[in-house]
Amino acid sequence: MRDKEHLAYYQIYRELIGPPSGTGGSGKSCPQCGADVKEGATFCRTCGAYPI
């Protein structure tokens, strides 16, 4: 997480939506939250983890 504000928003997201789920092994996954990350991406669009 970049900062405390980002963490607070992510916690709200997880409470309302739930944890990110994978789509079945295509591409790579974020080491922080487990969400799928597109090939060639350098950060997670779900939790903001950088670098991946």
Give me the domain span that covers residue 17: 1-52
Q: What residue type is assigned to position 36 of the chain?
A: D
- For residue 34, the 8-state DSSP code is -
Indicate whether 1 pLDDT > 80: no
What residues contact 41, with CB distance under 8 A and at least 6 apart? Answer: 52
Average pLDDT for 3-29: 83
| Residue 28 host element (H or E) | strand 28-29
Please give the tally of structural domains in the chain: 1
pTM for the predicted model, two decimal places: 0.53
CA distance 29 to 27: 7
3-state secondary structure of 36: strand
Query: What is the pLDDT at residue 42?
Result: 93
Per the structure block, which two tokens stand in for 15?
Answer: 């409470």
